[in-house]
Structure 1
Amino acid sequence: MHIGFLTSEYPHANLKPSGGLGTSIKNLAVGLSNSGVKVTVFVAYQNQDDIYNDQDVKIVSIKAVKHAIFGWYNERKRIQKIIQKEIDKERIQLIEAPDWTGISAFMKFTVPIVIRLNGSDAYFCKLDGRTQKFKNFVLEKTALTSAQEVVSVSTFTGELTKKIFSLKHHIKTIHNGIDANQFSPIESHINEGQLLYFGTIIRKKGVLELAEAFNLVVIKNEKANLLLLGKDAIDVFTKTSTIELFYNLLTPEAKTKVKHIKEVPYHEIKNYISKANIVVLPSFAEAFPMTWLETLAMEKALVSSNIGWANELMVDNKTGFTVSPKNHKEFAERIIELLNDKQLCESFGKAGRQRVIEKFSAEKITNQNIEFYKAVINK
């Protein structure tokens, strides 16, 4: 079996920076390769045309090209030709693409197209309470309605996406997986009182709510400190820096206990997770976040949001605490409870890792995907 992936991001030193979407695609691609499946990843809109081999996965970097007219359409058709040529040459049997911005819209191949729901622009706009650009909606709906099959990383995301776009597809759920051997507990010194947030500094991830909660935490625990790890983003509502908005919400005392690191290499994230006392991820908008899986796999107590997808990943009061991000008081209380109870942190951590191994291990998720691909190809 030979599977192709079309994406605009993928973690590799020679490609543009990648986020959680790229990480989830790489985890699946490597898992498939380790199981004997041939994999080619087409990474569009890059700075150069090139081919790389990484962990037995073939990566085809496709340089972005500007067009005089109808740029978005003509570029898609150009990418389609490049991929189709590789399909014919290498006998690729299926192409998978994410839903985000409808990257596969208006592309047609001689093999089935599968769309995996990791969270479309429409989906995140719905969760954020924002109005989506009409063009983005059209591209995403076109891609989805023309796909042979649609699979979702969470049931919540699948159901909401189906409602937003009035889809007729049956949407199968296959959760994201993680290599629990790669993300495993590391013996290291714990920074007492340290709360870790990692990911883009953006409103939809609940960082502004985290500021309000942290103001309450420092009142009750003088050792509490917060490390923010991630790039700043321009806020969608105020059109200003989100990290500035964050700092403006902090009390003078809380400001002295916050540190922000803009960027670290992906392979170093594990070290920061291992040294943190507690991980805090109060997101409003996710599909099935890799950051949460990484946290649980490394046996860290997690205080997260309680929205939709969270109930498929977390078990409240067992793998951590799930709280509404808007309930600043309760969010702060749960953090304080964990800061004051080392044994509870350890208990949550062990339960979280066990849940990852049982439900979301790379091996289990890879096997589910292989069976899914076989069914699509055999149709």
Structure 2
Amino acid sequence: MKIGFLTPEYPHERTGNSGGIGTSIKNLAHAITALGHEVVVLVYEQKEDAVFFDNKVEVHQIKNIKIKGLSWFLTRKKIEKIINSLYLNNKIEIVEANDWTGITSFIKPKKCPIIIKLHGSDTYFCHLDKRPVKWINKFHEKRALKKADGHVSVSAYTAKMTNEVFNQNHNFTIIPNGVDMFLFQNEENKSIDVTTILYFGTLIRKKGLLELPLAFNIIHQKNPNTELVLVGKDNFDIISGNSSTWKMMQELFTPSALKKVNYIGPVAYSEVKKYIEKATVCVFPTFAEALPVSWLEAMAMEKAIVASNIGWGNEIVEDGISGFLAHPTNHQEYADKILQLLNDDTLRVTIEKNAKNRILSHFEINFVANQNLDFYKKIIGN
């Protein structure tokens, strides 16, 4: 098969930094090519028009057209022309786009089917954050969903909530994100710091980073030698307007607890694994996700995680078996579950092994890639 992916982000030195959407697309693209299929990734919002190869994946950089008032429409028509050309030249048979800001709302190729995969639209995340969404984003996202030839979601929760916020009734096929077990595996006999809690990801309110200090204060009282390590890019706070979430966090730690916090800052994607290896417990107290790749990566490396019990959470973690779940605002419960894992080696080792087995049975990248391929064949056949 010949599959195209349309995305605003893709992790590569030529295309710039990427979040979870780009990472999940790259994982899937490389798995599909390894299975003998062809993949073209179309990355818009780039500084130039160019084509290069990332191993076997053909990556097209697309520069947006800049004309006041018409940029959104002309850029979509430029992408439509590229898709038509690739389809007519037998380079792609189908295109998968994500739901973020509805890029395909006015893209209608002559023959190439377009499917939408939910990674979480702006409308979806604004709903979870309880803040207003830009009407133009909601308009494009709703139109893109309505026009799509097929619908996929990385979690059942995201599918349900998306239908609700757009007042639609699409039949979503649920195919989760996957993780490459070869890239994310713990080295045998790798020693860990038994008093390290790790968070990796963007420092932002919706990820629960303004709740984490309050839980850590409780942990610090009972386990004063425990260190909290934060790895990721600092971000502004959309609600308060503060330029730094990290600065806001510092004010929430007690003075003694703050001394045990180590903010590393952003690191290369390839470096994240080193911090996961050293951690005892990984924490993800987030309020807004679709199906986070970071959770999968930590679990693949046999790490016990304490994560959010909202929506998608139990689609990844079996609470008390392959990890722990708690609400981010319940600071006492969240802290207690972390302390259980820090203080009980036998429990932690059991959770770690179950976490890895959970990934192997449900989220291993080749297993997920074949689910995607079956779905693409079905849409093309129709």
Report the TM range for the smaller structure's normalisation.
over 0.9
CA distance in 2 between counterparts of 1:301 and 1:355 reads 12
Give how far 1:24 is off: 0.5
- Three-state SS of the structure 2 residue aligned to 1:44 is strand
Give how far 1:189 is off: 2.7
Summarize the alignment of residues 202-221 of structure 1 with structure 2, pairs less than 5 Å apart. 202-221=204-223
CA distance in 2 between counterparts of 1:75 and 1:364 reads 35
Q: Which residue of structure 2 lines up, in the alignment, with residue 289 of structure 1?
A: 292
The one of 306, 310, 326 equivalent to 1:323 is: 326
Give how far 1:365 is off: 0.8
- Three-state SS of the structure 2 residue aligned to 1:299 is coil
Residue 359 (structure 2) pairs with residue 356 (structure 1): yes
- Three-state SS of the structure 1 residue aligned to 2:120 is coil
Equivalent residues of 1:215, 1:251 under 8 A apart: yes
Residue 222 (structure 2) pairs with residue 227 (structure 1): no
- Three-state SS of the structure 2 residue aligned to 1:105 is coil
Q: Which residue of structure 2 lines up, in the alignment, with residue 8 of structure 1?
A: 8
My pick for the range that moved more, 183-192 or 281-290, is 183-192
Q: Which residue of structure 1 lines up, in the alignment, with residue 260 of structure 2?
A: 257
**Residue identity matched to 2:292:** P
CA distance in 2 between counterparts of 1:101 and 1:260 reads 32
**Residue identity matched to 1:72:** W
The one of 195, 200, 203 equivalent to 1:201 is: 203
Residue 279 (structure 2) pairs with residue 276 (structure 1): yes
- Three-state SS of the structure 2 residue aligned to 1:81 is helix
Q: Which residue of structure 2 lines up, in the alignment, with residue 53 of structure 1?
A: 53
Q: Which residue of structure 1 lines up, in the alignment, with residue 170 of structure 2?
A: 169
CA distance in 2 between counterparts of 1:73 and 1:16 reads 24
Q: Which runs of 5 or more residues in structure 1 are unaligned?
A: none
Residue 70 (structure 2) pairs with residue 67 (structure 1): no
CA distance in 2 between counterparts of 1:291 and 1:40 reads 25
**Residue identity matched to 2:366:** E
Change (3 A) 1:334 1:168: closer
- Three-state SS of the structure 1 residue aligned to 2:106 is coil
Q: Which residue of structure 2 lines up, in the alignment, with residue 87 of structure 1?
A: 87
Give how far 1:91 is off: 4.0
- Three-state SS of the structure 1 residue aligned to 2:239 is coil
CA distance in 2 between counterparts of 1:114 and 1:166 reads 19
Q: Which residue of structure 1 lines up, in the alignment, with residue 144 of structure 2?
A: 143
Q: How many residues align?
A: 379
Residue 369 (structure 2) pairs with residue 366 (structure 1): yes
Q: Which residue of structure 2 lines up, in the alignment, with residue 77 of structure 1?
A: 77
**Residue identity matched to 2:361:** E
Q: Which residue of structure 1 lines up, in the alignment, with residue 22 of structure 2?
A: 22
TM-score (norm 1): 0.98
Equivalent residues of 1:324, 1:331 under 8 A apart: yes
Q: Which residue of structure 2 lines up, in the alignment, with residue 155 of structure 1?
A: 156
Taking only aligned residues, the RMSD between alpha carbons, in angstroms, comes to: 1.1
TM-score (norm 2): 0.97
Q: Which residue of structure 2 lines up, in the alignment, with residue 121 of structure 1?
A: 122
- Three-state SS of the structure 1 residue aligned to 2:170 is coil
- Three-state SS of the structure 2 residue aligned to 1:322 is strand
CA distance in 2 between counterparts of 1:73 and 1:243 reads 37
Equivalent residues of 1:195, 1:277 under 8 A apart: yes
Give how far 1:203 is off: 0.5
Structure 1 runs (4+) deviating above 3 angstroms are none
Q: Which runs of 5 or more residues in structure 2 are unaligned?
A: none
Q: Which residue of structure 2 lines up, in the alignment, with residue 334 of structure 1?
A: 337
1:107-144 CA distance string (max 9 Å, x none): 11121110000111111111111111111100111111
CA distance in 1 between counterparts of 2:102 and 2:114 reads 12
Give how far 1:216 is off: 0.6
